Structure 1
Amino acid sequence: MIFLARIRLAVLIMMLLLGIAAFGPASAQKLNPDGAPNPTASVTSERDLFKQVPRIEGRIDIPDKKASVLIQPAGRTWDYFHEVLLHWGGAIVILGTIVFLGLAYLVIGRIRIAEGRSGTKILRFKAFERFSHWLTAVSFVVLGFTGLNVTFGKILLLPLVGPDNFSDISQVAKYVHNFTSFSFLVGLILISLIFFRDNIFSKVDLEWLKHGGGFIKNKHAPAGRFNLGEKLVYWLSVVAGVAVSVSGFLLLFPFYGTEIAEMQLIQVVHAVVAVLFVALILAHIYIGTLGMEGAFEAMGTGEVDLNWAKEHHDRWLARQLEKERKPGRPLATPAE
């Protein structure tokens, strides 16, 4: 009996040694030299797992399924766009536009009234038309500065004011941006309705284009109330305004019928359209101030010089003078 017991003990020891020899190396691979578990030791790498599963989710007890998302690799693509592509692309577009307009001013200079001021004014925009324009314009400027802070604030403003001040400024800018969007939308609707009929394309726009749009000296370009360039600015502004408004309100009220990936796409659309919109309005501001003599008065006081109207909007001026011949308040008045 003692002999059999010793044989059984020897067999158990042999089986134990064989088990250690078989499973020991596999276990050792999952341990660091100090004996701690190795989290990277697995049959499938993390990158391969991400390729197989678009995102990793956990279990939650609340109704909001979005809260169960633990890892979403697609967010890295959005982060790269926001932190790299948008910075470079936005800087190139906006600074490029400013440089181009500066060169245009140096090469072409300010477009003067060829015959000089006549001393007679004619009404171009009524008070409510100017109000609608300035409501939209001021709202756009506020939205532009506060929105650019989201994109470039950490690069340009943070090093100057420090993290605490930058945090306060950005928080205020966020609320200002959100609430100003409502006044911008009201102004956008107003100018879309008020100036819609005068911005419909017509044959005279082709003539304006053939004559160089008035930028060629000693070559008159015929136009109605708005020329082709102004009509293009109008339609591009309306389209861009609708795009940033819709995308902006979807960002303002997130996840109402949208998922995380769709919110990221909406933010990309909002940012890209906004940057292009800023470049468009910079060109519009340049033409209305430095680029053309007498243009700012149209939206400033509502009245323009008769010679300015004759040189830039002759067809519209002819219709206005025709109305003046009818009984009623005269449209053309001597300048004070």
Structure 2
Amino acid sequence: MISLLFLFFIVSDCVTTAFAMRMATWNLRFDSKPDNITVQQSIDALPDPLVEFPFQGVHGEQPWSTRRLRVAQTLLSEDIDIAGFQEALVRQVRDLAELLGDDWSWVGVGRDDGKEAGEFSPIFFKKSKFTLVSNDSFWLSDTPFEPSRFPGAGSIRICTATRFTVKEPSSSGPQHFAYLNAHLDDASDQQRQLGTSLILTRARFEAFVNGGPVLVTGDFNSPSTGSDSGGYKVITGAQPPLPINATFAKKFDAGGVGADFRMIDFRGQAPRQSVSKNYATFTGFTEPNDTSDWTRIDFAFGGSTRGWNATGYKVLSALQDDGTLSSDHRPVFADVSLE
């Protein structure tokens, strides 16, 4: 009897009921100053770390070839498991894949042609932690199944949708979840409302038809308060969604259930002592003391059907001592347990 009990406790201790992970979302700022500098050349050009440099000696936006090592260093030092990025051109996606290492994989397409042209909203994930079950992309427009721009929007906008299975064993069976990552428009609040209506429809479908927790990240270009916050209000259920493409609505019909389904902001769910005091996620490439354009437009959400628990949330500065900003956005991190 003693040996059987001992075996029971060993087995119970090896099988977990919740899976803890750290996720991130970061608008990387597109490669607006392209050059031919390789990743290895950037590494080779790193200065002696023991030599002091002029503090805040650099100002304004720096090339991606300068910023990419700092982006990767931040992500790796935070020990993330999965992440959604925005504004990444194909060079930036490939650079990140190289810098993050062999345990990482990614999915996503360029928004301009559904292949490699234009900005990606890719999802990166650790292969040792997750098995990719499926992925696809849809456009945040009136014709979501093809590369297209919403009338009045500043750019073509896209959402990457995935489903994963957690590799870590669970006493309740395989754990799976859906994860959507998007970038909404900077010029049109109408597009942001339409885009979040599409995302909410897809998230509801994943929650009620495919089952499991649903996570959403992205640059919504829609603050949580103010006259241009329609996108945030739609996805959080504070405002009704807009009518969407009928074919999309039919394909991702949740069977008439979940009318009150919404996404819940992780910043308001994590314990308050575990929420960073950095609030703004967009800072621009302005001087450190110029906060005139600072705002919170990058979010991490969980579906109202839950199956998740937010245990921490933080926004890190993108500014280094030499004055270089890794991006005009700050990285957002959320600690989440899947239950």
TM-score of Structure 1 vs Structure 2, range by shorter chain: under 0.3
Larger radius of gyration: 1
TM-score, normalized by length of structure 2? 0.22
**Greater relative CO, 1 or 2 (CA 8 Å, sep 6+):** 1
